[in-house]
Amino acid sequence: MRSILALAAICLATAAPAKTPCGGKFGSFVNGLKREAVSKGHAAGTVDRFLASVRQDPKVIKADRSQGVFQLDFITFSRRIISQNRIDNGRRNAKKWDAVFDRIERDYGVSRGVLLAFWALETDYGAVQGNFNTLNALVTLAHDCRRPALFRPQIFAALELFERGDFDPARTTGAWAGEIGMVQMLPEDILTNGVDGDGDGKVSLKTSPPDALMSGGRMLRGLGWRKGEPWLQEIVVPGNLDWSKTGLDHSMSVSDWAKAGVKPRAGTLGPGNLKASVLLPMGRKGPAFLAYPNFNVYFEWNKSFVYVTTAAYFATRLEGGPVYNAGAPEPGLSGAKMKSLQKKLAARGHDVGKIDGILGAKTRRAVQVEQKRLGLPADAWPTPALLGRL
């Protein structure tokens, strides 16, 4: 469950430490993997069989370098991804697997809409799981020196699955970044959180919805999901709100937000003692949400702001929530102009991470600081006017 179209947190992960072996001739790299595997206690013959068919896959590297989807704003991205067909299929699957979702809610405390949304966005409820050879993908990405520390451990986790009879080096397929199954889990995640939900004695994330959904629920609980608490709620914000207090870097109790004039668009706000943040994906004139502690768990699974917000919102829709009020947000920045903004922010000493044209957490944080300094509404939404002022 790492990302839509296999573009996940992995896509945006930080660079690996230089000490992690990577690069060089691919054959020599594979031999290094074999030596390390044997040093970890795996039998040499088993390791040889596991890596016998491995090949470098240039299509994996090409997919890894394609990040354009994350340059879309929240409204564009969410409208593109959340279709009526996905909503209808979600409701049908909720009914079909009602007993499984009941178990997940009882055992792991994860609401069914949350897992339904991930299931939909990751693989269209299992229909599109990816056809990349998983071992080739993992070894190719570990050999590439962009994020080897992220992928190298996954190879040894896949080896453990192979020893259990749960991984076929030549036939196991999935997303380009090595995720497997209906909710797209990496080998380490499968080892730690895999659940035999259908009771057949195996963890089959590619073919068994109960296994995939139960495993996803267990993983979310392990990442810190809090039972019985909300995650995201659409709100109406007053025009005189202190915008500098909005964003995920700032939180107050729900009761304090209510005193500041924040109101639910439907239903009631969460418990007054819960901490929450006002989330404005496209600034003060666009959609507005209250993000509760469970919302932060999404970022433990995926680092993309636009993906996380879309997945969390979609979960509310699948549980009967309304279509958000898009409002009339100010025009944002294109990818090229966003890169220009990031360069200007970096020149002013802000850490915006990679200059990639993606409005991530670091760029939002820097934008809010500069808006406040310039006397602009500090809602963390970069506009052409801000770019001009900088």
Within 13 Å, how many C-alpha atoms sit on residue 351's CB side?
1
Query: In this structure, what token pair is assigned to residue 257?
Result: 């937000």
| Average pLDDT score over residue span 119-142 | 97
User: Where do we find the tokens 């995939």?
Assistant: 212
8 Å CB contact between 179 and 130: yes
Residue 303 is predicted with a pLDDT of: 83
20 burial (CB, 10 Å; 0-12 / 13-18 / 19+) is middle
8 Å CB contact between 155 and 137: no
Residue 69 has pLDDT above 70, yes or no: no
Q: Calculate the CA 282 to chain-centre distance.
A: 19
Residues pairing with 173 in the sheet: 133
Q: Calculate the CA 26 to chain-centre distance.
A: 30
8 Å CB contact between 175 and 66: no
Q: Which among 38, 79, 56 is positioned nearest to 313, based on CA atoms?
A: 79
Q: How confident is the model at residue 302 (pLDDT cuts 50, 70, 90)?
A: confident
Model pTM above 0.85: yes
Q: What is the rounded CA–CA span in Å between residue 235 and residue 224?
A: 24
8 Å CB contact between 274 and 232: no
Q: What is the rounded CA–CA span in Å between residue 87 and residue 120?
A: 9
Q: How confident is the model at residue 20 (pLDDT cuts 50, 70, 90)?
A: confident
Residue 68 is predicted with a pLDDT of: 61
Residue 9 is predicted with a pLDDT of: 40
**Distance from the first to the final alpha carbon of the chain:** 38
8 Å CB contact between 177 and 8: yes
| Average pLDDT score over residue span 247-254 | 96
| Average pLDDT score over residue span 90-118 | 97
Cβ-based neighbours of 66, under 8 Å, separated by 6 or more: 7
Please state, for a pLDDT cut of 90, what percent of the chain lies above it.
89
At 194-249, the pLDDT tens digits run: 999 999 999 999 999 999 999 999 999 999 999 999 999 999 999 999 999 999 99
Mean pLDDT score across all residues of the chain: 93
Residue type, 61: I
Buried b (16+ CB within 10 A) or exposed e, 33-43: beeebeeeebe
Can you give the three-state secondary structure of the chain, one letter per residue?
CCEECCEEHHHHCCCCCCCCCCCCCHHHHHHHHHHHHHHCCCCHHHHHHHHCCCCCCHHHHHHHCCCHHHHCCHHHHHHHHCCHHHHHHHHHHHHHCHHHHHHHHHHCCCCHHHHHHHHHHHHCCCCCCCCEEHHHHHHHHHHCCCCHHHHHHHHHHHHHHHHHCCCCCCCCEECCCCCECCCCECHHHHHHHCCCCCCCCCCCCCCCHHHHHHHHHHHHHHCCCCCCCCCEEEEECCCCCCHHHCCCCCCEEHHHHHHCCCEECCCCCCCCCCEEEEECCCCCCCCCEEECHHHHHHHHHCCCHHHHHHHHHHHHHHCCCCCCCCCCCCCCCCHHHHHHHHHHHHHCCCCCCCCCCCCCHHHHHHHHHHHHHCCCCCCCCCCHHHHHHC
Residue type, 173: T
Within 13 Å, how many C-alpha atoms sit on residue 236's CB side?
7
Residues pairing with 133 in the sheet: 173
8 Å CB contact between 122 and 148: no
